[in-house]
Amino acid sequence: MSDIAQLEQDLLSAVGAAQDEAALETVRVSALGKSGSVSALLKTLGGMTPDERKAKGPAINGLKDKVTAAITARKDALATAALDAKLASETVDVTLPVREAPADTGRVHPISQVIDELTAIFADMGFAVAEGPDIETDDYNFTKLNFPEGHPAREMHDTFYFPQKADGSRLLLRTHTSPVQVRTMLSQKPPIRVICPGRTYRSDSDQTHTPMFHQVEGLVIDKSAHLGHLKWILEEFCKAFFEVDNVKMRFRPSFFPFTEPSMEVDIQCRRGKDEIRFGEGEDWLEILGCGMVHPNVLKNCGLDPNEYQGFAWGMGIDRIAMLKYGMNDLRAFFEADVRWLNHYGFRPLDFPTLAGGLSP
């Protein structure tokens, strides 16, 4: 066997044995590179006689062509094999169910849902939403709301205070959303119709109380507001929120420093083994407090009580959420348990409306 034939056999065997493109490139460089074996043979053609060039030239050029073609074919085969392996490793089983989109798997927390429901109901009655800071002054949280010095609510065991400042004053975490009412009366002229939803804080914790909870308060101030208006608003709210046609309410005398007269409101219900139904039954359940705004509060907010009057009410958002949706432990609201949220949560695109229905 001639040297050219032997070289051809060796090179074609090396090309066929290359297992990846890196090994194939090594074979190509050793054969066709600047210092490769085939390139060395091509360089010898220049020093040959015409007869030798005629005899060996076709063989040497044929060797180059065969090696080049073999390398190209092997490269294509390796690329095809690599693609097949990748496709095999990334196979999609079309028999599996399609994964749900985030909008389908995500859930709105019941507190957020109930706030949206409250907003929809009261907006339909012409109320705006007012908000204020969670960190308040003693003046806005207590003094302007007619809480006297020494009132139990001002004590450390009921209220979260910040450290004293150099002037002796202390900020606190608001114990109700009533400071928002104060800020509204100080910044707006009557008539005023607002609801004030938000977080509140008190030093209390058990199955039905948490140190942080949510309240919504309502405020109406004008020249002719009276208890008849308050009763109608609360009745319409309860019918819309609990989604019943009729509801009976009982107003009992009570005391709050910021209202006079003050009342607590009970709603008719029927207690079952695992549920409470409203608008029927023989039982009563307290749901909120209300009353006419105290003249001292109006004075403290720069309004003349001889010209203006109004009423206010407040209720726990967490509490009415528990009543409506059958939750028995307030602490679960804040434990961030995904299983609980999947059970009690709401789909994010199910916006509550009075026309379309509050709860999905």
pLDDT band at 169 (very low <50, low <70, confident <90, very high): confident
Residue 155 reports pLDDT greater than 80 = no
Q: What is the mean pLDDT of the chain?
A: 85
Mapping DSSP onto H, E and C, the string for the chain reads CCHHHHHHHHHHHHHHHCCCHHHHHHHHHHHHCCCCHHHHHHHHHHHCCHHHHHHHHHHHHHHHHHHHHHHHHHHHHHHHHHHHHHHHHCCCCCCCCCCCCHHHHCCECHHHHHHHHHHHHHHHCCCEECCCCCEEEHHHHCHHHCCCCCCHHHCCCCCCECCCCCCCCCEEECCCCHHHHHHHHHHCCCCEEEEEEEEEECCCCECCECCEEEEEEEEEEECCCCHHHHHHHHHHHHHHHHCCCCCCEEEEEEEECCEEEEEEEEEEEEECCCCEEECCCCEEEEEEEEEEECHHHHHHCCCCCCCCEEEEEEEEHHHHHHHHHCCCCHHHHHCCCHHHHHHHCECCCCCCECCCECCC
Pick the CATH number of 104-344 from 3.40.710.10, 3.30.930.10, 3.40.50.300, 3.40.190.10: 3.30.930.10
The percent of residues in the chain predicted with pLDDT above 90, rounded, is 39
Residue 155 assigned to a binding site: no
Give the pLDDT confidence of 106-148 residue by residue, as tens digits: 888 999 999 999 999 999 999 999 999 999 999 999 999 998 8
The answer, as to whether pTM is greater than 0.75, is: no
Q: What is the pLDDT of residue 358?
A: 60
Identify the pLDDT of residue 234: 95
pLDDT grade for 91, boundaries at 50, 70 and 90 = confident
pLDDT at position 240 over 60: yes
Lowest mean pLDDT among 32-36, 206-210, 233-237: 206-210
Per-domain residue ranges of the chain: 3-89, 104-344
Listed range (44-53, 161-170, 223-232) with the worst mean pLDDT: 44-53
Q: pLDDT tens across 299-349, in order? A: 999 999 999 999 999 999 998 888 888 887 788 888 888 888 888 888 877
The pLDDT-based confidence of 1 (bands split at 50, 70, 90) is very low
